[in-house]
């Protein structure tokens, strides 16, 4: 007996894709929470005047772009996301030092 395949409408397909994106976003939020905890550990070991390390930031971006390319992620996406994330965590570090 052959199974009947039900075709989803474009609207239902869009809804399903958006639900999948939401699930991924929630996984990213969990990872950001873990990263935040690690950043708060870092401030225990580095002085306030060393919060920003341009050489490390440049190196981090370069490594992530290289890894991202292997995953078919455009470098502009990685650079923008990581610079935003790094700058946000720098802001958190400065806030926590006060």
What are the sequence ranges of the domains in the chain?
9-42, 47-98
Tell whether the model's pLDDT for residue 2 goes beyond 70: no
Q: What distance in Å separates the CA atoms of residue 22 and residue 1, rounded to the nearest whole number? A: 36
Between 7-11, 53-57, 80-84, 89-93, the lowest mean confidence (pLDDT) is in 7-11
Tell whether the model's pLDDT for residue 72 goes beyond 70: yes
Q: What distance in Å separates the CA atoms of residue 16 and residue 30, rounded to the nearest whole number? A: 22
- Round the average pLDDT of the chain to a whole number and report it: 93
CA distances from 4 to 8, 10, 20, 42 (A): 13, 19, 24, 57
pLDDT of the residue at 37:
97
Using only C-alpha atoms, the chain has a radius of gyration, in whole angstroms, of: 20
Q: Residue 61 in contact with residue 82, Cβ under 8 Å?
A: yes
What is the mean pLDDT of the segment spanning 38-46?
92
What are the start-end ranges of the H helices in 1-98?
A: 10-42, 54-70, 75-97
Q: What distance in Å separates the CA atoms of residue 51 and residue 89, rounded to the nearest whole number? A: 10
């Amino acid at each position: 007996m052959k199974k009947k395949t039900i075709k989803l409408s474009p609207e239902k397909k869009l809804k399903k894709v958006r639900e999948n994106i939401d699930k991924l976003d929630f996984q990213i939020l969990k990872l950001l929470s873990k990263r935040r905890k690690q950043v708060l550990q870092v401030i225990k070991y580095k002085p306030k005047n060393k919060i920003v390390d341009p050489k490390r930031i440049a190196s981090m971006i370069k490594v992530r772009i290289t890894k991202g390319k292997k995953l078919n992620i455009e470098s502009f996406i990685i650079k923008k996301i990581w610079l935003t994330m790094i700058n946000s965590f720098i802001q958190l570090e400065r806030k926590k030092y006060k």
